[in-house]
């Protein structure tokens, strides 16, 4: 409680000092909470003013160190020097989310800040109207801050998309509230129960992307190989075979068409061109046989003489008539 009271006093001193400065210069005031999926958070608190009006910054830093000494978490205080603004930055790392409300209220002096959890779903609320109203009543405005490149803001960085929020602006999973442009309390609801698991759509997208990139790389390599490949060695022409003399038989072999060059292959050591092969007949020509001498003509045989005709046979003499039965004596002269 003593720590909280001391820091509230310190915070009020800083704000009053900043209001005085804003009539002639400007300030930068921001609180950033970076939430991790493992249930921890990092806090960064920035306070800086223009260098020409930075009197008393060292004293304010010393006051802040006293309020952080009894905190259960380690912290660092670094100098802030950017675009003519000087001041300090407080960083507190690896805060358990269950302790975040205590760190904000007791150690950083932030009023009306709460963080509640229900089954992995967190609800953050911060009524920052006191900071903005005090600045506005003292003459600090959005136009004044923009003129000197200053700001008063709260930034929340989440591991995934929020369920609901009323942020002034968003960029990805980073939400930002302008403390000078608030009409209601800061509100954000987010879920850490699903933050540790990678969506299946994202996994598929990564795989497809890797395959596409691999295909492009392979195509480029093949194209480069084709460009650098040496010209193919000339192919010796194929000569037709010599015709074989087979009397009056017609040759049946025809010259073969020249072979087309083959597609280029992967680069190899250049091959010395071979001398064209000399024509060697595959078969010696057949020597024609000597003509066969004609045989001597056959001498015709002498014709056979026809056989002599036989003498006609003399007709037989008629037989003598038989003697009459009266037994008349036969004339011996007949």
Percent of the chain with pLDDT over 90: 30
Model confidence at 22, pLDDT cuts 50, 70, 90, reads very low
Q: Computed over its alpha carbons, how large is the radius of gyration of the chain?
A: 64
Which has more pLDDT, 124 or 241? 124
Confidence grade of residue 4 (pLDDT, cut at 50, 70, 90): low
Closest CA to 255 of 271, 265, 241: 241
pLDDT of residue 100: 95
pLDDT at 197 over 90: no
pLDDT, greater one: 49 or 213: 49
pLDDT tens-digit readout, 52-68: 877 777 777 888 888 88
The DSSP bridge partners found for residue 90 are: 45, 77
pLDDT on residue 13: 45
Q: Lowest-confidence range among 173-177, 223-227, 276-280?
A: 276-280
Tell me whether strands 121-126 and 113-118 are parallel, antiparallel or unpaired. antiparallel
Q: 260-317, pLDDT tens digit by residue?
A: 555 555 555 555 555 555 544 455 455 556 555 556 555 556 555 555 556 555 555 5
pLDDT band at 50 (very low <50, low <70, confident <90, very high): confident
CA distance 188 to 111: 17
Find residue 79's DSSP bridge partners.
88
Percentage above 70 pLDDT, the chain: 56
How far is residue 320's CA from residue 274's CA, in Å, rounded to a whole number? 127
Return the pLDDT at 11. Answer: 54
Report the pLDDT value the prediction gives residue 20, as an integer from 0 to 100: 46
- The angle subtended at Cα 25 by Cα 22 and Cα 29, nearest 5°, is 65
Answer yes or no: is pLDDT of 24 > 70: no
Distance CA 266, CA 222 (A): 9
Least confident of 192-206, 217-231, 309-323: 309-323
| Residue 167: predicted pLDDT | 97
pLDDT at 97 over 80: yes
**b/e per residue 43-79 (b: at least 16 CB within 10 A):** bbbbbbbbeebbeebeebeebbeebbeebeeebeeee
Higher pLDDT pick, 132 / 99: 99
State the average pLDDT for the chain. 73
* Angular region, 22: left φ>0, alpha ψ -120 to 50, beta rest: alpha
Supply the pTM of this predicted model. Answer: 0.55
Domain chopping of the chain, boundaries: 2-197, 198-229
**Bridge partners for 170 per DSSP:** 175
What's the pLDDT at 183?
A: 86
In angstroms, the Cα distances linking 190 to 51, 124, 167 are 39, 8, 13
pLDDT, one tens digit per residue, over 136-151 is 766 677 888 888 889 9
Given this model, what pLDDT does residue 213 score? 76
Q: Break the chain down into helix, strand, coil percent, rounded to 5.
A: 25, 20, 50
What pLDDT sits at residue 200? 52
């Amino acid at each position: 409680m003593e720590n909280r009271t001391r820091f509230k006093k310190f915070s009020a001193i800083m704000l009053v000092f900043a209001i005085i400065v804003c009539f002639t210069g400007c300030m930068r005031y921001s609180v950033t909470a970076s939430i991790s999926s493992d249930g921890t958070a990092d806090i960064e608190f920035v306070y800086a003013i223009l260098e020409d009006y930075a009197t008393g910054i060292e004293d304010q830093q010393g006051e802040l160190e006293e309020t952080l000494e009894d905190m259960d978490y380690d912290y660092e205080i670094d100098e802030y020097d950017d675009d003519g603004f000087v001041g300090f930055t407080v960083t507190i790392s690896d805060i358990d989310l269950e302790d975040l409300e205590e760190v904000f209220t007791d150690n950083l002096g932030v009023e009306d800040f709460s963080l509640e959890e229900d089954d992995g779903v967190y609800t953050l609320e911060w009524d920052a109207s006191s900071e903005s109203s005090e600045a506005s009543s003292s003459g600090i405005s959005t136009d004044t801050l923009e003129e000197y490149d200053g700001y008063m803001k709260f930034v929340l960085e989440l591991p995934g998309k929020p369920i609901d929020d009323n942020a002034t602006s968003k960029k990805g999973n980073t939400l930002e509230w302008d403390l000078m442009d608030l009409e209601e309390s800061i509100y954000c609801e987010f879920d850490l129960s699903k933050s540790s698991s990678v969506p299946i759509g994202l996994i598929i997208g990564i795989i497809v992307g890797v395959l596409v990139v691999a295909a492009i790389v392979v195509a480029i390599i093949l194209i480069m190989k084709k460009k650098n490949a040496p010209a193919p060695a000339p192919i010796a022409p194929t000569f037709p075979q010599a015709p074989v003399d087979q009397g009056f038989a017609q040759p049946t072999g025809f010259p073969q068409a020249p072979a087309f060059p083959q597609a280029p292959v992967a680069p190899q050591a250049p091959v010395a061109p071979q001398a064209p092969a000399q024509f060697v007949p595959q078969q010696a020509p057949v020597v024609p046989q000597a003509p066969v001498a004609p045989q001597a003509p056959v001498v015709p045989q002498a014709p056979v003489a026809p056989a002599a005709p036989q003498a006609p046979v003399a007709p037989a003499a008629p037989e003598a008539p038989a003697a009459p039965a009266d037994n008349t004596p036969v004339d011996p002269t007949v």
